[in-house]
Structure formats: C-alpha cells, structure tokens
Amino acid sequence: MIQIKNLDFSHGDEKVLNNINIDIEKNTTCAIIGPSGCGKTTLLYLLAGLLSINRGEILINGEEWNNCRRETGVILQNYGLLPWKTVWNNVSLGLKVRGLSKKEIEYKVSSILNELKITDLKDKYPTQLSGGQKQRVAIARTLVTNPDLLLLDEATSALDAMTKEHIQNLILDVYKKRSMTLVFVTHSIEEAVFLGQKIIIMEKTKIKKVIDNPYFGAEELRKKIDYYNLCLEVRKWLEDGESQ
C-alpha cells in the first residue's frame, strides 16, 4: 500500500526528516510515536500531500504521490469542523464537493451518522458538541467518502481518559469493518500499542525502531499483561533504546 523511500524534508535550513524508509502493507494499521519535534506529524502531512517532498518518494499502491489524493482521508488534531455548519452539513461536505446526488448524500450521511451513533446530533453546531462528539463527527465526515487510506494526527490527545478509550475502540471497530489502511500519529504509548499493528518509534529526524505488534485486535486487550509488557518495550525505546 505505502512505500516511503529515502525521504528527506527540511524547513529552511532545519532538517526535519532524514532518509526515512517505511513499508506499510495494505489494510494494516501503523502507529507513529516519538517525542515532540521528532518529525512524526511532518511525515503524516507528507503522506497526506499537505507538504511537498524535498527528496525521496512516497508510493501509494505503486504510484508516486506528492500531492493530495482523492482516496486518502485525513483527520487533524483540531477536528477541522466548520463552526457555521451543522453536523449534517459538515459530514455531507465532501460528498457535495464530489457532486453526488441529493438522494445519495442523504443515504450515505444517514448511514454513517447511524453507524457512529451520532444521528441525534445532526442539527447541532460544533460549538454545541463535546470533544468526543466532535471527534466522532470528524471521523464520520472522513469515512463517508470511503477512503482506502485513513491518516490521523493525535486523534484523541484532547480527550479525557475514558472518552479517549471510547474513541480508540471506535477507530478499531471502524477499521475492522472496512477495507482500508490506517496510519496515525500519537504521543500515547497505550494508544500506539492498542491500535498499531506496526509501531514506528521516532527520534529527531529519523526512525529509531520498528516493532510488530502480535497482540493487535485481541479481545479485552487492555486487560492482558502482554499489552502492558509491549507498552513497556515501546517506553524503553522512547527513553534510551539504541538507534537502528
């Protein structure tokens, strides 16, 4: 699905990413974690086509990309909801841009609001919503366009602990029901281990370690000792592991 080859990126004279090489298989999930300023959000923005590559290449399904892609969905940290539009109109926006008929839009928006259990919010405005509700609306707005690649930047960082877990459960459920690849940036070790089949640990400008997660998707994962052991391994690499 995704091949990143010899990728470099700089802001002026400041090197942000240095020789990044990653393969992410189709219909898998990948967590990108690391300290602030290590380049992980920049990497996600390059995948989304929101920034232009300085050197190297990004291939998606074998095709080189350096701009926005119709089949890629992006959910940013601030949700990106338009405050002057209702939930219904926020969710339907991408479909209107694509020129779908009113009947098609009605069906698709109704279906996704029902799936995410936010139908009762359809006439509310973003300022009337809680953080968790806003995140559900942002997810709905992206999923309604049926992306094959979903990119998330700190999707749960602004939420309280229990709401964070509810949204993580929702993201996992959404992934399991759909044929898509999920790549997400997080500061949370627990989130990386819960949602990432592959966990990419970054240090400044580069990849430090890649860990394959054999426990991804296990029932009641948060109650298993293996989950916490893997969290400890990720923590070890974040703190003082040797670079690969």
- Domains of the chain as residue ranges with CATH: 1-71+149-244 (3.40.50.300), 80-146 (no CATH)
**Is the distance from CB of 149 to CB of 2 less than 8 angstroms?**
yes
pLDDT for the residue numbered 244? 43
pTM of the predicted protein model: 0.91
pLDDT for the residue numbered 242? 46
3-state secondary structure of 241: coil
pLDDT for the residue numbered 97? 85
C-alpha to C-alpha distances, 191 to 19, 169, 232, nearest whole angstrom: 26, 10, 13
Give the number of other Cβ atoms within 10 Å of residue 240's Cβ.
Answer: 7
Listing from the earlier edge strand, what are the strands of the sheet with 29-33?
72-75, 149-153, 181-186, 29-33, 198-203, 206-212
pLDDT for the residue numbered 31? 97
pLDDT for the residue numbered 63? 84
**Is the distance from CB of 194 to CB of 222 less than 8 angstroms?**
yes
pLDDT for the residue numbered 99? 86
3-state secondary structure of 51: coil
Q: Classify each residue of 85-107 as buried b or exposed e, where b means 16 or more C-beta atoms within 10 Å of its C-beta.
A: ebbbbbbbbbbeeeebeeeebee
Helix residue ranges, H only, the chain: 40-48, 87-97, 102-115, 131-143, 161-177, 189-195, 225-240
Kindly give the parts of the chain with pLDDT less than 70: 240-244
pLDDT for the residue numbered 69? 84
pLDDT for the residue numbered 158? 76
- Tokens 């940290």: give the residue: 77
